[in-house]
Protein backbone atom coordinates (compact mmCIF):
# COMPACT_ATOMS: atom_id res chain seq x y z
CA UNK A 1 0.00 0.00 0.00
CA UNK A 2 1.18 3.50 -0.85
CA UNK A 3 1.33 6.25 1.72
CA UNK A 4 -1.76 8.46 1.88
CA UNK A 5 -0.38 11.92 2.58
CA UNK A 6 -3.67 13.13 4.05
CA UNK A 7 -7.42 12.66 3.87
CA UNK A 8 -9.85 15.57 4.14
CA UNK A 9 -9.13 19.17 3.13
CA UNK A 10 -5.69 20.64 2.58
CA UNK A 11 -5.61 24.41 2.20
CA UNK A 12 -3.98 25.83 -0.92
CA UNK A 13 -2.78 28.69 1.24
CA UNK A 14 -2.26 32.20 -0.11
CA UNK A 15 1.09 33.93 0.16
CA UNK A 16 0.41 37.21 1.99
CA UNK A 17 2.35 40.23 0.77
CA UNK A 18 3.16 43.58 2.32
CA UNK A 19 2.22 46.80 0.54
CA UNK A 20 5.63 46.76 -1.18
CA UNK A 21 5.14 43.16 -2.40
CA UNK A 22 7.43 41.38 0.05
CA UNK A 23 6.28 38.14 1.70
CA UNK A 24 4.58 38.99 4.98
CA UNK A 25 5.91 36.19 7.17
CA UNK A 26 4.17 37.38 10.33
CA UNK A 27 0.85 37.20 8.49
CA UNK A 28 1.72 33.82 6.98
CA UNK A 29 2.33 32.43 10.46
CA UNK A 30 -1.02 33.85 11.57
CA UNK A 31 -2.81 32.25 8.61
CA UNK A 32 -1.20 28.88 9.32
CA UNK A 33 -2.33 29.00 12.96
CA UNK A 34 -5.86 29.98 11.83
CA UNK A 35 -5.95 26.97 9.53
CA UNK A 36 -4.71 24.50 12.13
CA UNK A 37 -7.11 25.86 14.76
CA UNK A 38 -9.99 25.22 12.34
CA UNK A 39 -9.04 21.60 11.62
CA UNK A 40 -7.39 21.93 8.23
CA UNK A 41 -5.86 18.57 7.37
CA UNK A 42 -2.77 19.79 5.46
CA UNK A 43 -1.03 22.98 4.38
CA UNK A 44 -0.13 23.32 0.70
CA UNK A 45 2.42 26.12 0.34
CA UNK A 46 3.62 27.79 -2.90
CA UNK A 47 0.91 26.35 -5.12
CA UNK A 48 -1.17 28.26 -7.66
CA UNK A 49 -3.13 30.01 -4.91
CA UNK A 50 0.17 30.80 -3.19
CA UNK A 51 1.46 32.57 -6.33
CA UNK A 52 4.42 30.22 -6.50
CA UNK A 53 5.01 31.23 -10.12
CA UNK A 54 5.92 34.80 -9.13
CA UNK A 55 8.10 33.93 -6.15
CA UNK A 56 11.80 34.02 -6.94
CA UNK A 57 13.91 31.00 -6.02
CA UNK A 58 15.00 32.26 -2.61
CA UNK A 59 11.47 33.37 -1.68
CA UNK A 60 10.05 30.04 -2.77
CA UNK A 61 12.51 28.04 -0.69
CA UNK A 62 12.20 30.31 2.34
CA UNK A 63 8.39 30.25 2.30
CA UNK A 64 8.52 26.45 2.35
CA UNK A 65 11.13 26.33 5.13
CA UNK A 66 9.19 28.86 7.20
CA UNK A 67 5.92 26.94 6.82
CA UNK A 68 7.53 23.66 7.90
CA UNK A 69 8.96 25.42 10.95
CA UNK A 70 5.66 27.03 11.98
CA UNK A 71 3.56 23.90 11.40
CA UNK A 72 6.09 21.87 13.40
CA UNK A 73 4.70 18.47 12.36
CA UNK A 74 1.16 19.17 13.59
CA UNK A 75 -0.28 18.42 10.14
CA UNK A 76 1.37 17.53 6.80
CA UNK A 77 3.09 20.27 4.79
CA UNK A 78 2.98 19.83 1.02
CA UNK A 79 5.23 22.06 -1.07
CA UNK A 80 4.47 23.22 -4.58
CA UNK A 81 7.70 22.48 -6.45
CA UNK A 82 6.49 21.91 -10.00
CA UNK A 83 8.13 23.48 -13.03
CA UNK A 84 8.11 23.20 -16.82
CA UNK A 85 11.85 22.50 -16.48
CA UNK A 86 12.21 18.96 -15.11
CA UNK A 87 15.70 19.62 -13.74
CA UNK A 88 14.58 22.76 -11.93
CA UNK A 89 11.61 20.87 -10.47
CA UNK A 90 14.11 18.42 -8.99
CA UNK A 91 16.19 21.27 -7.55
CA UNK A 92 13.17 22.88 -5.88
CA UNK A 93 11.95 19.51 -4.68
CA UNK A 94 15.30 18.60 -3.14
CA UNK A 95 15.39 21.90 -1.26
CA UNK A 96 11.84 21.32 0.00
CA UNK A 97 12.85 17.84 1.16
CA UNK A 98 15.76 19.28 3.13
CA UNK A 99 13.34 21.75 4.74
CA UNK A 100 11.31 18.79 6.02
CA UNK A 101 8.14 18.74 3.91
CA UNK A 102 5.89 15.70 4.00
CA UNK A 103 5.12 15.66 0.28
CA UNK A 104 5.47 17.58 -2.98
CA UNK A 105 2.80 18.99 -5.28
CA UNK A 106 4.07 18.96 -8.85
CA UNK A 107 2.09 20.69 -11.58
CA UNK A 108 2.25 19.48 -15.17
CA UNK A 109 4.76 21.27 -17.41
CA UNK A 110 3.29 24.47 -18.83
CA UNK A 111 4.02 26.62 -21.91
CA UNK A 112 6.54 24.21 -23.49
CA UNK A 113 3.96 21.50 -22.58
CA UNK A 114 4.64 17.87 -23.43
CA UNK A 115 3.01 14.66 -24.66
CA UNK A 116 1.54 11.92 -22.44
CA UNK A 117 4.84 10.06 -22.89
CA UNK A 118 6.62 13.23 -21.85
CA UNK A 119 4.50 13.50 -18.71
CA UNK A 120 5.47 9.98 -17.70
CA UNK A 121 9.16 10.74 -18.32
CA UNK A 122 8.93 14.10 -16.49
CA UNK A 123 7.32 12.74 -13.35
CA UNK A 124 9.49 9.65 -13.20
CA UNK A 125 12.60 11.83 -13.61
CA UNK A 126 11.54 13.83 -10.53
CA UNK A 127 10.35 10.84 -8.51
CA UNK A 128 13.65 9.01 -9.06
CA UNK A 129 15.49 11.94 -7.49
CA UNK A 130 13.42 12.61 -4.36
CA UNK A 131 12.58 10.58 -1.27
CA UNK A 132 9.18 12.02 -0.29
CA UNK A 133 5.77 11.35 -1.89
CA UNK A 134 4.69 13.28 -4.97
CA UNK A 135 1.15 14.43 -5.70
CA UNK A 136 0.78 15.39 -9.35
CA UNK A 137 -1.34 18.43 -10.21
CA UNK A 138 -3.58 18.39 -13.27
CA UNK A 139 -4.95 21.81 -14.15
CA UNK A 140 -5.22 21.99 -17.96
CA UNK A 141 -6.99 25.36 -17.97
CA UNK A 142 -3.73 26.91 -16.71
CA UNK A 143 -1.09 24.67 -18.26
CA UNK A 144 -2.53 23.51 -21.58
CA UNK A 145 -1.69 19.92 -20.59
CA UNK A 146 -4.14 17.25 -19.42
CA UNK A 147 -3.14 14.00 -17.69
CA UNK A 148 -5.20 11.17 -19.17
CA UNK A 149 -6.48 8.28 -17.02
CA UNK A 150 -4.23 5.83 -18.87
CA UNK A 151 -1.24 8.04 -18.09
CA UNK A 152 -2.13 8.01 -14.40
CA UNK A 153 -1.92 4.21 -14.55
CA UNK A 154 1.70 4.47 -15.67
CA UNK A 155 2.54 7.21 -13.16
CA UNK A 156 1.02 5.21 -10.30
CA UNK A 157 3.55 2.43 -10.90
CA UNK A 158 6.24 4.61 -9.32
CA UNK A 159 6.28 4.06 -5.53
CA UNK A 160 6.71 7.78 -4.80
CA UNK A 161 3.93 9.05 -7.10
CA UNK A 162 1.07 8.56 -4.66
CA UNK A 163 -1.79 10.68 -5.96
CA UNK A 164 -3.03 13.70 -7.85
CA UNK A 165 -4.80 17.00 -7.41
CA UNK A 166 -7.43 16.90 -10.14
CA UNK A 167 -8.58 20.32 -11.34
CA UNK A 168 -9.61 19.35 -14.85
CA UNK A 169 -13.28 19.50 -13.88
CA UNK A 170 -13.83 16.30 -15.84
CA UNK A 171 -15.69 13.99 -13.45
CA UNK A 172 -15.88 11.22 -16.08
CA UNK A 173 -12.09 11.22 -16.42
CA UNK A 174 -11.71 11.16 -12.62
CA UNK A 175 -14.04 8.16 -12.44
CA UNK A 176 -11.97 6.35 -15.05
CA UNK A 177 -8.72 7.22 -13.27
CA UNK A 178 -9.93 5.81 -9.96
CA UNK A 179 -11.37 2.74 -11.69
CA UNK A 180 -8.03 2.06 -13.37
CA UNK A 181 -5.68 2.99 -10.52
CA UNK A 182 -7.67 1.84 -7.51
CA UNK A 183 -7.96 3.53 -4.16
CA UNK A 184 -4.23 3.06 -3.50
CA UNK A 185 -3.74 6.15 -5.71
CA UNK A 186 -5.10 9.20 -3.85
CA UNK A 187 -7.22 11.62 -5.87
CA UNK A 188 -7.97 15.05 -4.41
CA UNK A 189 -10.43 17.55 -5.83
CA UNK A 190 -8.81 20.77 -6.97
CA UNK A 191 -12.27 22.30 -7.46
CA UNK A 192 -14.17 23.30 -4.32
CA UNK A 193 -17.51 22.87 -6.08
CA UNK A 194 -16.88 19.17 -6.83
CA UNK A 195 -15.55 17.73 -3.57
CA UNK A 196 -18.55 15.60 -2.59
CA UNK A 197 -19.00 14.36 -6.16
CA UNK A 198 -15.37 13.36 -6.48
CA UNK A 199 -15.37 11.63 -3.09
CA UNK A 200 -18.40 9.59 -4.10
CA UNK A 201 -16.12 8.02 -6.72
CA UNK A 202 -13.38 7.23 -4.21
CA UNK A 203 -11.51 10.53 -3.84
CA UNK A 204 -9.62 11.23 -0.60
CA UNK A 205 -10.60 14.90 -0.17
CA UNK A 206 -9.66 18.29 -1.54
CA UNK A 207 -6.88 20.81 -1.95
CA UNK A 208 -9.00 23.83 -1.30
CA UNK A 209 -9.10 27.55 -2.09
CA UNK A 210 -12.28 27.96 -0.03
CA UNK A 211 -10.35 26.84 3.04
CA UNK A 212 -8.48 30.15 3.10
CA UNK A 213 -11.67 31.87 4.29
CA UNK A 214 -13.75 28.98 5.66
CA UNK A 215 -11.34 26.27 6.83
CA UNK A 216 -13.86 24.51 9.06
CA UNK A 217 -16.43 24.28 6.26
CA UNK A 218 -13.80 23.10 3.77
CA UNK A 219 -12.70 20.50 6.35
CA UNK A 220 -16.25 19.36 7.14
CA UNK A 221 -17.34 18.69 3.54
CA UNK A 222 -14.91 15.76 3.12
CA UNK A 223 -14.88 14.87 6.84
CA UNK A 224 -18.63 14.26 6.85
CA UNK A 225 -18.33 12.12 3.75
CA UNK A 226 -15.49 10.07 5.26
CA UNK A 227 -17.58 9.58 8.41
CA UNK A 228 -20.48 8.20 6.35
CA UNK A 229 -22.63 11.34 6.60
CA UNK A 230 -23.10 11.62 2.85
CA UNK A 231 -26.16 13.87 3.11
CA UNK A 232 -24.36 16.25 5.47
CA UNK A 233 -21.44 16.50 3.07
CA UNK A 234 -23.77 17.12 0.13
CA UNK A 235 -25.75 19.74 2.02
CA UNK A 236 -22.62 21.70 2.96
CA UNK A 237 -21.32 21.43 -0.61
CA UNK A 238 -24.54 22.90 -1.96
CA UNK A 239 -24.92 25.53 0.77
CA UNK A 240 -21.56 27.08 -0.11
CA UNK A 241 -21.70 26.46 -3.86
CA UNK A 242 -22.21 30.14 -4.67
CA UNK A 243 -19.13 31.10 -2.68
CA UNK A 244 -17.05 28.33 -4.25
CA UNK A 245 -18.02 29.70 -7.67
CA UNK A 246 -17.55 33.36 -6.81
CA UNK A 247 -14.02 32.71 -5.59
CA UNK A 248 -13.36 32.17 -9.30
CA UNK A 249 -15.06 35.24 -10.80
CA UNK A 250 -11.53 36.31 -11.71
CA UNK A 251 -8.23 34.47 -12.02
CA UNK A 252 -7.28 32.60 -8.83
CA UNK A 253 -6.01 33.83 -6.36
CA UNK A 254 -7.29 37.34 -7.10
CA UNK A 255 -10.81 36.74 -5.65
CA UNK A 256 -9.75 34.77 -2.58
CA UNK A 257 -7.20 37.43 -1.62
CA UNK A 258 -9.84 40.11 -2.19
CA UNK A 259 -12.28 38.14 -0.01
CA UNK A 260 -9.70 37.80 2.75
CA UNK A 261 -8.99 41.51 2.64
CA UNK A 262 -12.73 42.27 2.73
CA UNK A 263 -12.90 40.08 5.84
CA UNK A 264 -10.10 42.06 7.51
CA UNK A 265 -7.40 39.40 7.13
CA UNK A 266 -5.00 41.86 5.45
CA UNK A 267 -3.16 39.51 3.09
CA UNK A 268 -2.14 42.26 0.68
CA UNK A 269 -2.30 42.36 -3.11
CA UNK A 270 -1.44 39.83 -5.78
CA UNK A 271 1.74 40.29 -7.76
CA UNK A 272 1.68 41.31 -11.40
CA UNK A 273 0.49 40.21 -13.87
CA UNK A 274 -2.54 39.61 -11.60
CA UNK A 275 -4.57 42.80 -11.16
CA UNK A 276 -7.21 43.97 -8.71
CA UNK A 277 -10.77 42.88 -9.50
CA UNK A 278 -13.29 45.15 -11.20
CA UNK A 279 -15.89 46.86 -9.01
CA UNK A 280 -18.60 44.68 -10.55
CA UNK A 281 -16.75 41.48 -9.64
CA UNK A 282 -16.02 42.82 -6.14
CA UNK A 283 -19.72 43.48 -5.60
CA UNK A 284 -20.60 39.93 -6.65
CA UNK A 285 -18.00 38.48 -4.32
CA UNK A 286 -19.01 40.72 -1.42
CA UNK A 287 -22.63 39.65 -1.84
CA UNK A 288 -21.62 36.00 -1.45
CA UNK A 289 -19.51 36.78 1.61
CA UNK A 290 -22.41 38.75 3.13
CA UNK A 291 -24.84 35.92 2.45
CA UNK A 292 -22.69 33.65 4.61
CA UNK A 293 -22.11 36.26 7.33
CA UNK A 294 -18.43 36.79 6.52
CA UNK A 295 -18.56 40.57 6.01
pLDDT over 90 at 2, yes or no: no
Q: Is residue 1's pLDDT more than 80? A: no
Model confidence band, residue 137 (pLDDT cutoffs 50, 70, 90): very high
pLDDT at position 260 is 98
Burial of 137 (0-12, 13-18, 19+ CB in 10 A): buried
Domain presence at residue 272:
no
113 found inside a domain: yes
**157 in any annotated domain:** yes
Asked whether residue 252 is domain-assigned, the answer is no
pLDDT bracket for residue 184 (50, 70, 90):
confident
- The residues annotated with a catalytic role in the active site are 137, 165
Is the residue at 261 inside a domain? no
pLDDT digits (tens, 9 = 90+) for 53-103: 999 999 999 999 999 999 999 999 999 999 999 999 999 999 999 999 999
* Confidence at residue 236, expressed as pLDDT on a 0 to 100 scale: 98
Q: What is the mean pLDDT of the chain?
A: 97
pLDDT for 265 beyond 80 = yes
Do the domain assignments include residue 258? no
pLDDT at 147 over 80: yes
**Is residue 266 in some structural domain?**
no
Tell me: pLDDT of 206 over 90. yes
Share of the chain above pLDDT 90, in %: 98
Domain span at residue 142 reads 8-229
Mean pLDDT of 223-242: 98
Q: Report if residue 90 sits inside a domain.
A: yes
CATH number at residue 59: 3.20.20.70
- Has residue 290 got a pLDDT over 80? yes
| Residue 228 pLDDT grade (very low, low, confident, very high; cuts 50, 70, 90) | very high
pLDDT at residue 118 tops 90: yes
Overall domain count for the chain: 1
pLDDT at residue 150, rounded to an integer:
98
pLDDT at position 183 = 83
Note the pTM of the prediction, 2 decimals: 0.97
Amino acid sequence: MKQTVFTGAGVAIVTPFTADNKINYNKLAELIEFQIANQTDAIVICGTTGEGSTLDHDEHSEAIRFTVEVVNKRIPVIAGTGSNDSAYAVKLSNEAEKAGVDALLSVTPYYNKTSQRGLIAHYNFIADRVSVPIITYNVPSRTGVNILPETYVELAKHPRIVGTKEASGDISAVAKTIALCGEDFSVYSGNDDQVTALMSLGGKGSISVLSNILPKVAHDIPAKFLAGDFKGSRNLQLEYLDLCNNLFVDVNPIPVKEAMNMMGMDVGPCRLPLLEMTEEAKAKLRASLAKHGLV
